[in-house]
Structure 1
């Protein structure tokens, strides 16, 4: 994933590290779809047919927060960049170079290769037909780069509406920030929007999905309208965090710290509040998700994972409403918890064993490139593993045992996912190292 960090005067290493971890989670998420997860992905494993509840729960859980966090980080960085920019045109040109250009190249060159890699079998006629369909059917961004196209649209719209300061000096920025905070209505301050904004966003998602169920994508930018309310909310919240001088999201379960001793540190506002821990936030979110099928179990005494996931996509039913509200509640919990965790434990820059600043393979420097190559790399790895276990495309008898049914999808997701994460970062690092001019774009 990408944010324009080159314009930040004081680099937030905690956000860099969070973004890198989220990139790995995106790769793991997409890999899991091949092995019983929710969503669409070009490759489907023979070893794990259909939806597996445990893998689907993993999908739903991380889907609830990782894209929202990407948009929050991107919104904050864009606000910082705009506040220091003296030219709207320069800002827009940088977004075209860093977002639109990679999305276009991926759509035209990489996505057809991904489509071929995902085919259940290869022969010349099928490969040619797939390549032609991928190229001739282009109507906008294809594959994971919908995020880049959507972010580019958000940034360009913001740049058009934003009033560039006459002089982008620190004094001007400071005065602008103070004025923005002081003139905002009390009900529209950052804390209120961050704490309770998930409620109207969840309702908006439910209403939108009555007409546009999950899985339906818009032309050109290819975003799912059913999730767009969260993305807009997170992006705007990221902008507000910059102008309000806040360092992270604020949880609806956050409590004021009792000041037994006077705080001596003013380096960040995490000192003043008690945010639910990452473990507690995860437990609350997963518990709420697990409770959603209970009414159906009581009413029908059966559990049909495929039917439940189908209803969750949208429509006038309890599962669609419950999922829409839970998804935003989970984002409101997990976002602040992850930010506080990384702020406390992972706020330092990259260091090697000698204490220098050289970065390893899995690092913030390679995260954007890893995101761009993770689809072909991950599908290739998943396909090799699947072929080794299901030679000739047939499932062996031992895959019908109870042990494999329970553990198999988790083992395949974990093994293929971890290899895909490292492989994507490795290929991404070589792309930056070997291709001239790539570092200027990525």
Structure 2
């Protein structure tokens, strides 16, 4: 596939910043959808799990690509960071930028979110939060992503030391052709199918849903390979459109498969047709959506003004703090006499704004900007 010329190494990509912001907001909408009848695990829900077919579809499509896109970007920025800092400083930086937010959420924000979700009144919230920090339930929540990236960072450093990822090793100079992408998508789908025979979707090992990780690992490695020639910033729209069409066709088949759920077996995993379909469905949707997003981001019109830079600077912080913000807003909205759809729209918008504002306030504290 043809590509546009590579940007200069120091040029900041406003389009990728915008994609990061949009994906962070999509994470918030994804969890808000779970509250109002989508599918998945969350701290608190108003409607029963998977009770709203449209929100179930929304969550399924999101899951196919949005966290994978974050892993792709993480891999994309890894080689340059490692080469610039060296192994020691690179890993130390990962522990500051990922480990500290992970620990903060694990021991502080997770108990806060649990107490907000369980609260019948707010008068003693601080007392119960303190009790939760000391002796309550803890976990990474959405910061499982930071935990996974820490593991990936250490694996990358080890492989670089072993020579598996040499600094001047083979990299992708151009986008792969369809005859390469197609078997890769089928292959990773089959790997996911096999993994889910043992660890179905929804089952966690050390807080990680390993059933999704074959695609995450592939995308992280793909980002590493694409980094030297900055291929994610050079994807032409004409190369992405055919794969977007494939993704749309795949999405159209999902409602049919959901209606036939009882016939084909569980999507989560197992030796059945639905599990095979879902494992193959994900990489086809992910490829089309991810390529299209980066092609859209690569257009010359993408420029970053003050508002865009503010959102980009606070995106990771918003990701870290969005759980208690969203749970607090959805618990408050439960008292309002509106339909779940109205609440989903209103709470999602308010949670997006609130998470970014809280992140910006935290980053104004001396020293926090180094972490968030």
TM-score (norm 2): 0.86
> Which structure 2 residues correspond to residues 39-118 of structure 1 after superposition, within 5 A?
39-45=40-46, 51-85=51-85, 87-118=86-117
Q: Distance in 2 between matches of 1:116 and 1:64?
A: 31
The answer to whether the 8 A contact 1:71-1:234 is kept is yes
1:254 is matched with none
Structure-2 separation of matches of 1:49 and 1:313: 15
Residues 292 and 50 of structure 1, relative CA distance in 2, 3 Å threshold: closer
Name the CA shift for 1:135/1:160 in 2 (closer, same or farther; >3 Å). farther
Match in the other structure for 1:154: 152
Aligned ranges for residues 374-413 of structure 1 at < 5 Å? 374-389=322-337, 408-413=339-344
Contact 1:65 1:334 in 2 (8 A): yes
Secondary structure of residue in 2 paired with 1:42: coil
Q: 1:345 to 1:218 in 2, by over 3 A?
A: farther
Counterpart in 1 of 2:271?
A: 316
Q: Is 2:293 aligned against 1:338?
A: yes
Q: How many residues of Structure 1 are paired with residues of Structure 2 in the alignment?
A: 359
Question: CA shift at 1:285, angstroms?
Answer: 3.6
Unaligned runs of 5+ in 2: 1-8
Q: Deviations over 1:121-142 (max 9, x none)?
A: 35979x859954994554xx52
CA distance in 2, matches of 1:65, 1:287: 16
For 1:306-332, what per-residue CA distance to the aligned partner results, in whole angstroms no more than 9, with x for missing partners?
xx8x81122222222111111121111
SS at match of 2:298: helix
Aligned counterpart, 2:221: 236
CA displacement 1:243-292 (0-9 Å, x = unmatched): 4x2523xxxxxxxxxxxxxxxxxx94528x53217974663242132232
Partner of 2:10: 9
Residues 76 and 241 of structure 1 are in contact (CA less than 8 Å); yes or no, is this contact kept in structure 2?
Answer: yes
Summarize deviations over 1:399-436 as a string: whole Å, max 9, x none. Answer: xxxxxxxxx44332222111111111111111112x21
Which piece of structure 1 moves more, 32-41 or 155-164? 155-164
Residue in 2 that maps onto 1:143? 141
For the aligned residue pairs, the C-alpha RMSD in angstroms reads: 3.3
Partner Cα separation in structure 2 for residue 213 and residue 15 of structure 1? 32
Distance verdict in 2 for CA 1:427–1:282, change over 3 Å: farther
Secondary structure of 2:36's aligned partner: coil
Residues 329 and 130 of structure 1: is their aligned pair in 2 closer, same or farther, counting only changes over 3 Å?
Answer: farther
User: Is 106-115 or 380-389 further displaced after alignment?
Assistant: 380-389
Matched, 1:292 2:292: no
Instruction: Report the 3-state secondary structure (helix = DSSP H, G, I; strand = E; otherwise coil) of the residue aligned with 2:40.
Output: coil
How far apart in 1 are the matches of 2:235 and 2:49? 48
Question: Is the counterpart of residue 201 in structure 1 residue 200 in structure 2?
Answer: no
5+ long unaligned stretches in structure 1: 1-7, 166-171, 249-266, 300-307, 353-357, 391-407
**What's 1:302 paired with?**
none
Alpha-carbon distance between aligned partners in 2 of 1:422 and 1:296, rounded to the nearest angstrom: 37
Q: 1:109 to 1:18 in 2, by over 3 A?
A: same
What SS does structure 1 have at the residue aligned with 2:208?
coil
Separation (CA, whole Å) in 2 of partners of 1:296 and 1:337: 30
CA shift for structure 1 position 335? 0.9
CA distance in 1, matches of 2:362, 2:195: 39
Helix, strand or coil at the partner of 1:369: helix
Question: How far does the alpha carbon of each residue in 1:365-412 deviate from its partner, in whole angstroms, 9 at most, with x for none?
Answer: 01011011100001111111111238xxxxxxxxxxxxxxxxx44332
Is residue 328 of structure 1 aligned with residue 283 of structure 2? yes
TM-aligned CA deviation for residue 193 of structure 1: 5.6
Secondary structure in 1 matching 2:231: coil
